[in-house]
């Protein structure tokens, strides 16, 4: 891919100003540049500190703490990515489970049972949509897909909606079993797939309702700010005015890693780095219509 279009790999390097992290950090980068310039002016033009001043040795502290802050950021980023990737695996399992359920229903139900086939295709697709809405419901700024559905005209939005959808599926399977359209073994296999949908929902809720400890996040932010604010004190002696871009760049790298981790640790949202739940739920609806006709 790179050999075919070498500029494609290099293009993002020249569009860093369009990056989400750069836009969010820009005010702080400007303030840090002004602070570093003020420190440089005080040390060189006002205080006239010599290169033998003990303050020059403060860079030793940064050398010792650099390893610690890098380890903290690596752990922070890995932890956030693990949460994002687990959410993606759960939605992948939802896609597979929905398809498996549709394939089994297609095999067990006769072709002339059009109403039952349509009902299950609607309910299984509806579960994915309502799971997405359920995970987004606390974020009132988002427009949720809460259109009425013929299979659940009495849907209670004040209660756990995914459970209501699964309950309706179980009721239909039970009725089909009592009417003799499904054997006990077939009904058991379908019930296992249906209950697996709620297992996926519970796992997604565990991720959403268990955020990274606040004290840990605050400590890393304080550490980054204290680390970068003390950098100009020692770097001015060796870099003079060049300390301004160096300090700003160091802060940009450290703060960007923290900001990226902050964005991906909550995968169920509507930001650019969040999971494409809209696309996945639409794909499930489309797949079930194809499978069940």
Residue spans of the domains in the chain: they are: 24-82+212-264, 91-210+275-292
Question: Which residues, other chains included, contact 114 with Cβ-Cβ below 8 Å and sequence gap of 6+?
Answer: 293
Q: What is the pLDDT of residues 44-99, one digit of tens each?
A: 777 766 566 666 677 778 888 888 898 999 999 999 999 999 999 999 999 999 99
The pLDDT of residue 141 is above 50: no
Percent above pLDDT 70 for the chain:
85
Question: Closest Cα partner for 268 from 148, 151, 137, 100?
Answer: 137
Say what the pLDDT of residue 140 is: 43
- How far lies 32's CA from each of 42, 59, 204, 278, in Å? 15, 18, 39, 39
For the stretch 201-239, pLDDT in tens is 999 999 999 888 888 889 999 999 999 998 888 888 888
pLDDT digits (tens, 9 = 90+) for 27-59: 999 999 999 999 888 877 777 665 666 666 777
Nearest to 228, CA basis, from 28, 17, 19, 26: 28
Q: What is the pLDDT of residue 142?
A: 46
User: Coil, strand, or helix at residue 113?
Assistant: coil
């Amino acid at each position: 891919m790179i050999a075919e279009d070498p500029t494609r790999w290099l293009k993002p390097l020249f569009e860093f100003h369009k990056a989400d992290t750069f836009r969010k950090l820009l005010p702080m980068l400007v303030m840090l540049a002004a602070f570093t310039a003020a420190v440089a002016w005080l040390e060189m033009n006002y205080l006239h500190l010599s290169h033998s001043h003990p303050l020059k040795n403060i860079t030793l502290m940064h050398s010792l703490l650099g390893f610690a802050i890098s380890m903290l950021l690596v752990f922070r980023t890995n932890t956030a990515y693990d949460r994002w990737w687990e959410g993606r695996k759960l939605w992948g399992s939802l896609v597979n489970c929905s398809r498996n359920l549709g394939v089994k229903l297609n095999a067990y139900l006769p072709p002339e049972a059009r109403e039952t086939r349509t009902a299950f295709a609607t309910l299984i697709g509806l579960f994915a949509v309502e799971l997405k809405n359920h995970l987004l419901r606390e974020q009132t700024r988002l427009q949720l897909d809460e259109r009425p559905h013929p299979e659940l005209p009495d849907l209670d939005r004040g209660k756990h909606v995914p459970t209501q959808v699964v309950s309706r599926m179980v009721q239909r399977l039970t009725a089909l079993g009592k009417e003799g359209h499904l054997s006990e073994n077939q009904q058991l296999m379908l019930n296992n797939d249906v209950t697996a949908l709620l297992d996926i929902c519970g796992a997604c809720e565990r991720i959403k309702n268990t955020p990274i400890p606040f004290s840990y996040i605050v400590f890393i932010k304080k550490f980054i700010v204290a680390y970068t604010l003390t950098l100009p004190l020692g770097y001015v002696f060796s870099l003079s005015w060049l300390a301004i871009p160096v300090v700003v760049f160091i802060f940009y790298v450290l703060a960007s890693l923290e900001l990226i981790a902050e964005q991906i640790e909550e995968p169920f949202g509507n930001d650019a780095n969040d999971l494409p739940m809209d696309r996945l739920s639409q794909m499930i609806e489309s797949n079930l219509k194809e499978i069940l006709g």
